[in-house]
């Protein structure tokens, strides 16, 4: 999955860590909301932004949640083109004015750039940011290196691990 894409590090994130980071993001966004006069609602970038958006919406007591569905992965080349599969209709009318965009991660910035083009006046927030995409977002919690693959909890499953002695002996 990550072979050939320049990822040399892995950053596994547990459900508990993700929840803690989402709450930290909500604290930062609360200050930004007060400066902007509040948020009308959230636009979650699917699929990765759905869980963070739900947590942030709860913490900021926002009930209006829209989604924008994007696809940037294809079988031949990751991130070569952004396909907008569904737009956030309620947020489009005012170019996102008063709306909060939430995603799990900004990586290369390709998706963020496409969403920003649709909603240029929205406040863009992510949990994680990589250097290439960081300029595209207004608020984030944790920066990771560009060569790091973030393993989100929804991309992991619990499996039995081998005891160290078996790993060493090659059993």
**CATH code of 75's domain:** 3.40.50.2020
Residue 89 structural domain: 9-169
Q: Is residue 63 part of a domain?
A: yes
Q: Is residue 3 part of a domain?
A: no
Phi, psi of 19 (to 5 degrees): -60, -45
Phi, psi of 29 (to 5 degrees): -70, -30
Q: Is residue 61 part of a domain?
A: yes
Q: Is residue 4 part of a domain?
A: no
Phi, psi of 109 (to 5 degrees): 95, 0
pTM higher than 0.75, yes or no?
Answer: yes
Q: Is residue 129 part of a domain?
A: yes
115-133 burial string, b = 16+ CB within 10 Å, else e? bbebbeebbbbbbbbbeeb
Q: Is residue 70 part of a domain?
A: yes
CA distances from 22 to 33, 53, 140, 156 (A): 16, 8, 10, 19
Q: 36 in helix, strand or coil? A: helix
Domains in the chain, number: 1
| Active centre residues (catalytic) | 103-104, 107
Q: What does the pLDDT read at residue 74? A: 55
- The pLDDT profile of the chain, 171 residues, written as one tens digit per residue, is 445 467 888 999 999 999 999 999 999 999 888 777 889 999 999 999 999 999 999 999 999 999 998 887 654 455 568 888 888 888 888 889 999 999 999 999 999 999 999 999 999 999 999 999 999 999 999 999 999 999 999 998 888 888 888 877 765
Respond yes or no on whether the N-terminal peptide bond of residue 47 is cis (omega within 30° of 0).
yes
């Amino acid at each position: 999955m990550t072979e050939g894409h320049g990822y040399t590090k892995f950053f596994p994130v547990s459900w508990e860590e993700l929840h803690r980071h989402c709450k930290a993001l909500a604290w930062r966004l609360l200050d930004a909301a007060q400066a902007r006069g509040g948020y009308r609602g959230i636009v979650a970038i699917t699929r990765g932004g759905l869980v963070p958006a739900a947590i942030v919406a709860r913490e900021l007591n926002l009930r209006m949640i829209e989604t924008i569905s994007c696809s940037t992965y294809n079988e031949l080349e990751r991130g070569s083109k952004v396909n907008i599969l569904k737009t956030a209709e309620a947020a489009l009318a005012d170019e996102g004015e008063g709306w909060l965009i939430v995603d799990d991660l900004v990586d290369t910035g390709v998706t963020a750039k496409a969403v920003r083009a649709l909603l240029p006046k929205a406040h863009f927030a992510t949990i994680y940011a990589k250097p290439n995409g960081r300029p595209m977002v207004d608020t984030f919690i944790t920066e990771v290196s560009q060569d790091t693959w973030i393993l989100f909890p929804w991309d992991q499953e619990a499996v039995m691990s081998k005891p160290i002695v078996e790993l060493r002996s090659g059993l």
